[in-house]
Amino acid sequence: MSQSGDIIRKLSKQGYRLTPQRMMILEVVERADSHISAEEIYTQILARYPHLNISTVYRTLELLKELGLVTETDLGDGRVRYHSMKKGRHHHLVCQKCGAIIDLDESVLSPLKVALLREYKFSADLRHLAIFGRCANCR
Amino acid sequence: MSQSGDIIRKLSKQGYRLTPQRMMILEVVERADSHISAEEIYTQILARYPHLNISTVYRTLELLKELGLVTETDLGDGRVRYHSMKKGRHHHLVCQKCGAIIDLDESVLSPLKVALLREYKFSADLRHLAIFGRCANCR
DNA sequence: ACAGCGATTGCAACCATTTGCAATTGCAAT
DNA sequence: ATTGCAATTGCAAATGGTTGCAATCGCTGT
């Protein structure tokens, strides 16, 4: 964790405490192959360290979101998934028929972001979106 | 309910049954001032007609969504809200600081829809979106 | 090293929504 | 009008996530 120092500083600078639970949760999210659910984070940590409650996982993920370290997205499978911001921004197209998930570059949404800013003076938080619809094969 | 005929035909044509519960739920959604929650639909009907279960409300709303009669949207207050399709399409900008909700014309999202169709051959279902961020006053 | 205080955690209860299943009911054929 | 059967409902349990509160713990100043 060469980058932990940054995060530790970021936390303590804003008056947040560095607890073992927080460190482990952040570590699991950063290590994760890709999008990981709260339950998955919870059971992974519990296997090695039994002093953790699921509500702490949710509260910590909320904090990491506010600090801009993770993003969340709902791919439509009844649970929210989290993703380390360090691993790059992107979005998803989710086919409602076959379930295919197509990754989408951030740039596709920049015109929308610009339009909302210009026409409504609204700064949209389009960090990690899931857009539902039908893929090429399912129409 | 001058339009009920349409809906009744639409239901029975596809093998769905016309139950009193369904009729009342649809009626309440169509009558509603604007975006209404499942719980609100449930209690409104229960006041006059006691044979209704909340899970029937959810299942009926799911059906009405599939038939294109209602849309749902999550304005970030921990419950999903429903809206009659007959009352026009629109989207919402939700300010995460002050909670302001700005209504958005459908047209703002058409360039995105076109781009996704052209570049990804993906037909996006952008029926009733909530976009989160910061409004003009809160930046 | 220790005390004090506020931040954080665990716990249990709660909330909105979904699901499996048996009982009921709408509707088509008779 | 009656029957048969699949669609629908009600119920109760389960799911993912949130919250209030008392107990605990990290950090700052001594």
CATH code of the domain containing B56: 1.10.10.10
Tens-place pLDDT, residues A16-27? 999 999 999 999
- Please tell me the total count of domains within chain A: 2
A115 closest CB neighbour out of B108, B125, B133: B108
pLDDT at A79 over 90: yes
Alpha helices in B1-139 (DSSP H): 4-13, 20-31, 38-46, 54-66, 110-120
Between these two residues, A51 and B3, which has the higher pLDDT value? Answer: A51
pLDDT attached to residue B11: 87
Same domain, B59 and B78: yes
CA distance B40 to B58: 12
Domain boundary among B57, B84, B111: B84
Same domain, A101 and A47: no
Averaged pLDDT, groups of 10, chain B, 139 residues long:
66 92 96 95 96 97 96 96 94 94 94 97 96 94
Same domain, A11 and A58: yes
What the block records as the tokens of A111 is 């015109």
Same domain, B99 and B79: no
Same domain, B74 and B96: no
Mark yes or no for CB contact B123/A111 under 8 Å: no
Indicate the burial class of B15 (C-beta count within 10 angstroms; 0-12, 13-18, 19 or more). exposed
Q: Which residue range is the domain that position A103 belongs to?
A: 90-138
B122 closest CB neighbour out of A93, A121, A126: A93
Q: Which nucleotides of D are covered by protein (CB under 7 A)?
A: 7-13, 15-20, 25-28
pLDDT at A80 over 70: yes
What the block records as the tokens of B130 is 């909530």
Same domain, A99 and A127: yes
Strand D contact residues in chain A (5-24), C-beta within 7 Å: 12, 17-20
Domain boundary among A64, A86, A108: A86
Mark yes or no for CB contact A104/B93 under 8 Å: no
The closest alpha carbon to A68, from A104, A14, A111, A112, belongs to A14
Same domain, B123 and B62: no
Where does the pLDDT of residue A3 fall: very low under 50, low under 70, confident under 90, or very high at 90 and above? low
CA distance B85 to B82: 9
pLDDT attached to residue B37: 98
Please give the backbone phi and psi of residue A32, each rounded to the nearest 5 degrees, phi first: -55, 140
Please give the backbone phi and psi of residue A25, each rounded to the nearest 5 degrees, phi first: -65, -45
ipTM value for the complex: 0.91
pLDDT mean over A116-123: 97
pLDDT mean over A69-81: 96
